[in-house]
Structure 1
Amino acid sequence: MGGFRKWAVYLVALAGFTAASASAAPVQTEHTVSQLVAEGPAVPGQPLWVALDQKLQDGWHTYWINPGDSGLPTEVNWTLPAGWKAGPLNFPAPHRFTTGPLVNYGYEKATRILARLDVPADAKPGSTVTLTAAANWLICADVCVPEDATLTLDVPVTAGGSPDPAVAPLFAEARAALPVPSPYAASVGATKAAVTVRLAAPGLTADQVKDAYFFAENPDLVEAGAPQQLAVTKDGLTLTLKPTGRATPGPVNGILEVTELVNGQPTTQALAIAIPADGVGAAPASGGMSADTGNAPVLPLWQAVLFACLGGMVLNLMPCVFPVLSMKAMALVRHQGAHARLHGLVYTGGVLACFAAIAIVLMALRAGGQEIGWGFQLQSPLVVAVLAYVMLLLGLSMSGVFTVGDQFMGVGQGLTQGDGYAGSFFTGVLASVVATPCTAPFMGAAVGYALVQPWYVALAVFLALGFGMALPFLALACSPWLLRHLPKPGAWMERLKQVLAFPLYGSAAWLVWVFAVQVGAPGMTGILVGLVLVGFAAWLYGVTHYAEGWGRRGGALAALAALALAVAAVVPQAVGNAAPAADGKAVAMTDGFEAFSPATLDKLRADGRPVLVDFTAAWCITCLVNERVALSSDIVHQALKSHNVALLKGDWTNRDAEITRVLQAHGRSGVPLYLFYRPGQAEPDVWPQILTEAQVLEAVGNLPKQSASAQ
């Protein structure tokens, strides 16, 4: 009943208001009373201001031009007499509404949106024109309801006139709610890492400015829900914002809301900011950063290429790659001169082809709006399962269960045959594929740089990464001196091949664990059955490989059928990808770590605590080694605890767009990434990708002494 009486009061007030001014009819929808109001009569050749006046039910809100993280703006479609023109809607400065992690921009209780109508010079005085506005809006509380109304307004045309005093208070309030042109020069800088809004206001002090917030008109410019970091200097104020990554070059318009103390009282002013496209520059590399952003390193191309090449060389030492490459290198002892060099070049071609393909797919997906980075394919459980099968097959081949390796990997006698070159090529492809779970030193900065560059620059960096990976084998193949110093071929090669099978079995077991982490324990049945089928296929192919006629062909077909069944066994779990944890996180939060979120990070930093954020993934070998070597010892735990360091873990095992954006903001395309936030320091320290216990202890030990007792 209370709500009904309130709506009745609104309608009575609007009816009286209508009778005193223009012939307008208020329209009531479920949660809104709307009316079109003219400021006065229409005068030929002069503008006429009209207001869309809306009263909203208590607890409900509508939206601004940019609704924020969700919602839709109010829209008006005009039907006007011939010669009349409608200008853009003038929205009042919005309010912020927070619902969990989401931030929206809009209005509650009431809103008045102004529009300027241009009256043609040939409008006839003494006539009456009808203006029609088809308005639609979204109004939300706990639920959202789309509403619309067709509003009409009869306006007399007079030779001269003045604003109607009956509506003067309404239009005065509407204009007072509009943002005012900024009296200070404003500038905007934009990079992939941050959007920076500056107001040149000399004389402002941090004691005067209590708060500032930028409402961007373009919803693709900045993340509404991300914190905005304020810095006040003698030259003015700076806001550092988190970009969405979707914006295209163009002008920047919005409202900068500044709250400052005037005579001891907080006063908020909404300043209209309009920066033309040619005035939008690059954000500086210094200054405060949002809690979940940072400054991506700016590398010259030559340095990115060099880092990529060095990182690629280190990839050869990874446990998935080393056994394959070692046997390929040992096979070269049978060959000298041009033959060995050709195998080296073909192997290099396979590596480069694979890295080029990875780069093209990665850039294409990112261009389509996907938030992905290095190792993205391992966020697919199906890819992880197939890689586990490949590792098992390679291990079984090196253990002598079957001899397809003579063709595929190009070892032993296969190198003396024509298809040995094909083996070299596919060995390069295989080595590249199995290297993707790994991130080497130098590599992170180079790949991070590549992903924010034009496609041809990115391709050059990825090819440099592949060339670095192929370089040791290529150097060996092209150096007669190195080949002469390799051990002579013999029975030891077979024993070495069998020994090197076990790292591949270990890699397969690790990938099975990653699969289980991604899909949960119930999904283990499919991959375990698949592994049995893969083993059966390898054995069957091995025992029928030297058979004659249909025996050999039948064995090969049966082996292929078993492999197909192995893949089919994991498809239901892999495609469903039901995360085991309720929060969707696959990596267990142990040893005092909490799950990362920007809100948690902001709260911990606001409390004055140092914070270590570990961005990791179950399929990242480097991450797991770092956790075991540098972050798991008692002495490290004690140091972190004694300095009251808060521990957050960002799990990237399955795709997470928010974590991808954090990685990109710090110039990385993949994990691991370690960010160490010191109290009072705007930007985090970025730790190396290969960690040691000594590095962690040194970084924590350098904390200010007072942080050890922070609560």
Structure 2
Amino acid sequence: MGGFRKWAVYLVALAGFTAASASAVPVQTEHTVSQLVAEGPAVPGQPLWVALDQKLQDGWHTYWINPGDSGLPTEVNWTLPAGWKAGPLNFPAPHRFTTGPLVNYGYEKATRVLARLDVPADAKPGSTVTLTAAANWLICADVCVPEDATLTLDVPVTAGGTPDPAVAPMFAEARAALPVPSPYAASVSATKAAVTVRLAAPGLTADQVKDAYFFAENPDLVEAGAPQQLAVTRDGLTLTLKPTGRATPGPVNGILEVTELVNGQPTTQALAIAIPADGVGAAPAGGGMSADTGNAPVLPLWQAVLFACLGGMVLNLMPCVFPVLSMKAMALVRHQGAHARLHGLVYTAGVLACFAAIAIVLMALRAGGQEIGWGFQLQSPLVVAVLAYVMLLLGLSMSGVFTVGDQFMGVGQGLTQGDGYAGSFFTGVLASVVATPCTAPFMGAAVGYALVQPWYVALAVFLALGFGMALPFLALACSPWLLRHLPKPGAWMERLKQVLAFPLYGSAAWLVWVFAVQVGAPGMTGILVGLVLVGFAAWLYGVTHYAEGWGRRGGALAALAALALAVAAVVPQAVGNAAPAADGKAVAMTDGFEAFSPATLEKLRADGRPVLVDFTAAWCITCLVNERVALSSDTVHQALKSHNVALLKGDWTNRDAEITRVLQAHGRSGVPLYLFYRPGQAEPDVWPQILTESQVLEAVGTLPKQSASAR
């Protein structure tokens, strides 16, 4: 545009600002004239609405919250007087701009973005305050230019006041451009191929509705440039959209633009849609995996809590929990009546405290963008190493190498005197920590539901899981009849205690193996040295525990120093370290499995082969038991081979955001997850979390037999 014409446009734009906003100086940038406008004076304790009023050069446009296929949204950073607060920006409904295959969302010619400012109750009438907004935006035509401006507005503070009549039409127009809350209920579901938005509007007919378009606030939800297919039925309207494959479960917000015929004339209305996480089906699966609401049902809260409680009870039967619970097997033999009930309640408190802590950390990390799930702490090599040390210490204690206190009450005994209630509490904590590698029946749906709910709902589900885990021991402690039928104390207790040390040694060995898988063979030196130091600390504490004076204190201090050195020995390999790619593939490709990748899965399915995908982790004992019991026999191998089933394994031992998204897409928060893709079937069969050989053979047996040459 020539210089004269350009300046003429700006003069017209400046003339378009209202005289009432004279105290706010318009700021001119290359393609925009911007100004702050207040709806009236500031009144103490009442909200004040302010508009960012922008006039755009002809042929140029700015962008909405979601800019579409390209662009950046307008942003405002406020500098306000003390006590003032700014709410979120309220954008008008956007327009669509098409450039070749790209679709963008935004505004042309002019736009007004509203913001609510909360005026503090102690603002002084008669004073004048200065509001400052640092605004930045991207404005585009054939080229895009980032622009910014620092805008100021002087606002008088009065004891009472009404909106300025000079700017009332402008604010009325700005509010009329905002989307209105939808009068109809909306829902969303998703598969690999489509995101479906449904509006329950039985009053609408196909003759009335001429067009509809959904502007999603989240740019990762759907492809802006893809067509949106409209269907109108007697129950309402449905839009079928193309997913990006990048979205994660969560609320869905946006604007549904509906064009209706009213008296023969098309009328467009922008409806604000806000769908909470519990109204959303499975989010689009990342990396080529697929999901729908059939695989990830939305549970009612009562059912999720019930499933969590049942799953927690079943956790007590898992081999990863038994070594710790075995330490409590003898505790109630020494106690009766109220004393035993108190130990049961304290143990339950320890379990609940640990589950609450795990839930809070898990939700906080996920809110911060971390793609993690159930058992996330065992994806940290440092946590695995420390747990291996704890298991070894407990085993050495039960073998008599050292004794903490006069009676054995489990981990934490040394933190208390007399009754040893801290021992019961910390035994509950430790049992909860080592239970997280396990996934029991009912747990998958419950925990998957919890992780897409508000924090208070998620916390309730996790506490129900913990209560279910503690319930059998609590019931035993509170039942006089059961306590009377427990074996009487005797010499057998010492021998049993020594026998029960060996499951703890086995758990320590298993954790060392997990550590090796996570950091690779070269990182094993640190944890092996650490185990020697832990053994030395236990022996040193044992031989000096009954010494006098400085001998006893010196032994304890030296033992603590050895434990500190044991932790330090694994830190270089554990912190920020992961197994080399070669090691990970070696694990994933055992027993005929190939390493999972979306591309490999899609290629195998395109070839018409059935595919079994096993999502597992080295620290998941449920996974390892399933692989040993249900997937490793010669009979199963022969059945899989005769039906030409391709085998893929997704190794979640270390954090993997892609696998996390697949788990979430199927309503799961942790492993194991078994997906069985049949040829010609869009969605996979989801196998149970506890597998048997007969279940695998039955599922595979329904396939037609193929020869290996069919590959």
TM-score grouping bracket, smaller chain normalisation:
0.5 to 0.7
Identity of aligned residues (%): 98
Asked if structure 2 preserves the Cα contact closer than 8 Å seen for 1:196 and 1:241, the reply is yes
CA spacing shift, 1:24–1:479, aligned 2, 3 Å: closer
Q: Pick closer, same or farther for the CA change 1:383–1:642 going to 2, 3 Å.
A: same
Shift in alpha-carbon separation, 1:369–1:282, aligned structure 2, 3 A: closer
Kept in 2: contact 1:410–1:420 (CA 8 A): no
User: How far does residue 525 in structure 1 lie from its aligned partner after superposition?
Assistant: 0.7
CA contact (8 A) 2:247 2:283 kept: no
CA contact (8 A) 2:346 2:421 kept: yes
8 A contact 1:36–1:50 mirrored in 2:
yes
The C-alpha deviation readout for 1:626-664, integer Å capped at 9, x for no partner, is 111111111111111211212221111111122112111
Distance 1:563 1:475, change over 3 A: same
Shift of 1:51: 26
Distance 1:439 1:82 in 2: 51
- Write the distance in 1 (CA, Å) between the matches of 2:447 and 2:504: 27
Asked if the contact 1:352/1:467 (under 8 Å) is kept, the reply is yes
Q: Contact 1:78 / 1:133 at 8 angstroms: preserved in 2?
A: yes
Match of 1:14 in 2: 14
- Distance in 1, matches of 2:77 and 2:337, equals 78
| Residue 24, structure 1, aligned to residue 11, structure 2 | no
Tell me how far 1:668 sits from its aligned partner: 1.1
Q: Is 33-42 or 566-575 further displaced after alignment?
A: 33-42
Q: Is the 8 A contact 1:343 1:477 kept in 2?
A: yes
Of 594-603 and 635-644, deviating more is 594-603
Residues 1:46 and 1:25: Cα distance change in structure 2 (over 3 Å): same
Question: Which shows bigger deviation, 563-572 or 284-293?
Answer: 284-293
- Report the counterpart of residue 623 of structure 2 in structure 1: 623
The CA deviation string for residues 186-226 of structure 1, in whole angstroms up to 9 with x for no partner, is 99657999832579999999999999999967413248999
Q: 1:107 to 1:395 in 2, by over 3 A?
A: farther
The 1:357/1:134 distance shift into structure 2, 3 A limit, reads closer
Aligned to 1:464: 464
**Contact kept? 1:138, 1:145, Cα under 8 Å:** yes
Distance change (3 Å), C-alpha of 1:273 and 1:504: closer
Query: Does the alignment pair 1:382 with 2:372?
Result: no
Report the aligned-residue RMSD.
Answer: 10.0
Deviations along 1:246-269, whole A, 9 cap, x unmatched? 989999899999999999999999
Q: CA deviation at 1:299?
A: 2.0
Deviates more, 1:526-535 or 1:121-130: 121-130
- Taking a change above 3 Å as real, the CA distance of residues 582 and 97 of structure 1, as seen in their structure-2 partners, is farther
2:529 equivalent in structure 1: 529
Quote how far apart the aligned CAs of 1:324 are: 2.8
Structure 1 pair 455–65 and aligned structure 2 pair: CA distance change class (3 A): closer
Moved more, 291-300 or 191-200: 191-200
Structure 1 residues 56 and 152: CA distance shift in structure 2, 3 A: same
Does the Cα contact within 8 Å between 1:63 and 1:106 map onto a contact in 2? yes
SS at match of 2:583: coil
- Indicate if the aligned counterparts of 2:328 and 2:409 stay in contact, CA closer than 8 A: yes
Distance 1:100 1:384 in 2: 53
SS of the equivalent of 1:585 reads: helix
- What displacement does 1:566 show? 0.6
**Partner residue, 1:312:** 312
Is the Cα contact below 8 Å between 1:393 and 1:535 reproduced in 2? yes
Structure 1 pair 68/294, CA: closer, same or farther in 2 (3 Å)?
farther
CA shift digits 1:560-580 (9 cap, x unpaired): 111111111111111131322
CA deviation after TM superposition for structure 1 residue 166, in Å? 41
Q: Cα distance 1:379–1:9, how it changes in 2: closer, same or farther (>3 A)?
A: same
User: Under a length normalisation based on structure 2, what TM-score does the superposition of the two structures give?
Assistant: 0.66
Task: Measure, in 1, the Cα distance between the counterparts of 2:701 and 2:587.
Answer: 28
Partners of 1:461 and 1:47 in 2: how far apart? 39
Q: CA deviation digits over 1:398-417, x for unaligned, max 9?
A: 11111127577359999996
Structure 1 range deviating more: 670-679 or 592-601: 592-601
What secondary structure sits across from 2:124 in the alignment? coil
Residue aligning to 1:405: 405
- What does residue range 362-441 of structure 1 map to in structure 2 within 5 Å? 362-404=362-404, 409-410=409-410, 418-441=418-441
Using the TM superposition, give the Cα deviation of residue 6 of structure 1 relative to its aligned residue in structure 2, in angstroms.
29
SS at match of 2:41: coil
For 1:339 and 1:79, locate their aligned partners in 2 and report how far apart those are by CA, in whole Å: 61
Counterparts in 2 of 1:310 and 1:72: CA distance versus 1, 3 Å? same
Closer/same/farther in 2, CA of residues 86 and 80 from structure 1, 3 Å limit: same
Task: Identify unmatched segments of 5+ residues in structure 2.
Answer: none
1:514 Cα deviation after fit: 0.8
Distance 1:308 1:518, change over 3 A: same
Q: 1:192 to 1:412 in 2, by over 3 A?
A: same
Q: Comparing 363-372 with 212-221, which one deviates more in the overlay?
A: 212-221
Does the aligned pair in 2 maintain the 1:68–1:104 contact within 8 Å? yes
Q: Answer with 73-82 or 677-686: which moved more.
A: 73-82
Determine the C-alpha separation between the residues in 2 that align with 1:224 and 1:146. 22
Which of 461-470 and 415-424 deviates more? Answer: 415-424
Q: Distance in 1 between matches of 2:369 and 2:409?
A: 37
- Distance across 2 between alignment mates of 1:583 and 1:482: 50
Please tell me whether the aligned partners of residues 189 and 281 of structure 1 are also in contact (alpha carbons under 8 angstroms). yes
| 8 A Cα contact 1:679 1:707, kept in partner | no
Contact in 2 for aligned 1:332/1:477 (Cα 8 Å): yes
Given that 1:293 and 1:662 are in contact with CA atoms closer than 8 Å, whether structure 2 keeps it comes out as no
- In terms of mean alpha carbon deviation, does 492-501 or 278-287 score higher? 278-287
Q: Tell me if structure 2 keeps the 8 A contact 1:60–1:141.
A: yes
How far off is 1:600 after superposition? 2.6
Q: Which residue of 2 aligns with 1:563?
A: 563
- Deviation (angstroms), 1:607: 2.7
Contact 2:248 2:284 in 1 (8 A): no
| Conserved? CA contact 1:288–1:682, under 8 Å | no
User: Residues 213 and 293 of structure 1: is their aligned pair in 2 closer, same or farther, counting only changes over 3 Å?
Assistant: farther
- Alignment partners' CA distance in 2, 1:120 and 1:548: 67
Task: Give the match's secondary structure for 1:582.
Answer: helix
TM-fit CA distance, 1:680: 2.3
468-477 vs 558-567, which moves further = 468-477
Residue 532 of structure 1 deviates from its aligned partner by 0.6
CA shift in 2, pair 1:448/1:63, >3 Å: same
Decide which moves more: 408-417 or 166-175: 166-175
Deviates more, 1:10-19 or 1:530-539: 10-19
Q: Compare 241-250 and 313-322 and name the one that shifted more.
A: 241-250
Q: Which deviates more, 50-59 or 231-240?
A: 50-59
Partner deviation per Cα, 1:464-490 (whole Å, 9 max, x = no partner): 111111111111111122122222211
SS state at 2:330 partner: helix
* 2:228 equivalent in structure 1: 228
Q: For the residues of structure 1 that align with 2:227 and 2:516, how far apart are their CA atoms?
A: 35
- The Cα shift of 1:504 comes to 0.9
1:283, CA displacement in angstroms? 9.5
Aligned length: 711
CA contact (8 A) 1:397 1:405 kept: no
Separation in 1 of the partners of 2:564 and 2:196?
A: 53
Q: Flag the 1:211–1:179 CA change in 2: closer, same or farther, 3 A.
A: same
Preserved contact between residue 227 and residue 290 of structure 1 (Cα < 8 Å): no
CA contact 1:612–1:648 (8 Å) conserved in 2 = yes
The answer as to whether partners of 1:447 and 1:461 remain within 8 angstroms in 2 is: yes
CA distance in 1: counterparts of 2:261 and 2:707, whole angstroms: 31
- Measure how far apart 1:354 and its partner are: 1.0
Distance 1:93 1:676, change over 3 A: farther
Deviates more, 1:584-593 or 1:489-498: 584-593
